[in-house]
Amino acid sequence: MQIRLPRVILALSIGAGLSVSGAAFQGMFGIPLVSPHILGVSSGAGFGAALSILTFRHLAFVPIGALCFGVIAIVIALWISRRRGRSSLFMLILAGVITGAMFEALLSLIKYLADPDDTLPTIVYWLMGSLASPGWHKLIWGLPLILIGIAVLYALRWRLNVLSLSDVEAHALGVNLKRMRWTVIFAATLITAASVSLAGIIGWVGLVIPHVARMIIGSNHQVLIPATISLGAGYLLVIDTIARTSTAAEIPLSILTAVIGAPFFAWLLKRSKGGWT
């Protein structure tokens, strides 16, 4: 009740959140290679976590620092993408890449300044992703943010089909594109920042799972979003179980998600010849 259950709940929620964020971003941007980390949120949150570890030398301040700098990263990306009061999706992606690169450089500076015998190993291990010490105290404030983001994207699942169309077709259907896009970005950013603040940077989940769901059930977001939530939650729970039990020392999650996710994704693409279904 005190150790296993909070960890299981956290694995299910983060897996579902990252997966549904990836599916929403891929549908909105129309780019299959988009993941929840595309706007630089994870890099900003990682820098905030590393800065908290370096400054306070205690993991209790890590979630706060990670969440704050994750929000700062998306604000910077939005500011860079603005041009004459307007922001296009293409400019937003470029701004996210720029923001992510900037925070990655700052993160490297933090690693350079950290004590190699004490602080640096803690920063490196945390950034590789782990659910080793969730506890109920983390779930109390972190889990609601993830669930709110998931609920928003689930409620907008049918509108994501409209966002996948051209702007002219979407306007003809009576959808406020600007408001819908910012709502999706806000929900996905909230999920990503909260997930990174709780468990570090966990890659590949938000990229691979939406593609797996599309290859099983197709691209209709009304059924794709619920399927992505279920597959993502189960996938990260299995990965965390393997990380916890396969060796004496716990394996960081990002290593397993890459080692397992990348070959499996390559096999799926080879089998489907790059198709969505």
DSSP sequence for the chain = --SHHHHHHHHHHHHHHHHHHHHHHHHHH--TT--TTTTSHHHHHHHHHHHHHHHH-SGGGHHHHHHHHHHHHHHHHHHHH-BTTB--HHHHHHHHHHHHHHHHHHHHHHHHHS-TTTHHHHHHHHHT---SS-HHHHHHHHHHHHHHHHHHHHHTHHHHHHHTS-HHHHHHTT--HHHHHHHHHHHHHHHHHHHHHHH----SHHHHHHHHHHHHH-S-HHHHHHHHHHHHHHHHHHHHHHHHHSSSSPPPHHHHHHHHHHHHHHHHHHHHTT---
Asked whether residue 206 carries a pLDDT value surpassing 50, the answer given is yes
Of the chain, the percentage scoring pLDDT greater than 70 comes to: 96
pTM (two decimals)? 0.91
Contact 36, 22 (CB under 8 A): yes
CA distance 225 to 258: 23
Cα-based angle 211, 214, 218 (whole degrees, multiple of 5): 165
For residue range 117-172, what is the model confidence (pLDDT) as tens digits? Answer: 888 988 998 889 988 876 787 788 789 999 999 999 999 998 888 887 777 777 77
| φ and ψ of 175, to 5 deg | -100, 135
Asked whether residue 274 carries a pLDDT value surpassing 60, the answer given is no
272 confidence band (pLDDT: 50, 70, 90) = low
**54-62 mean pLDDT:** 81
CATH second-level architecture of 4-272?
A: Orthogonal Bundle (1.10)
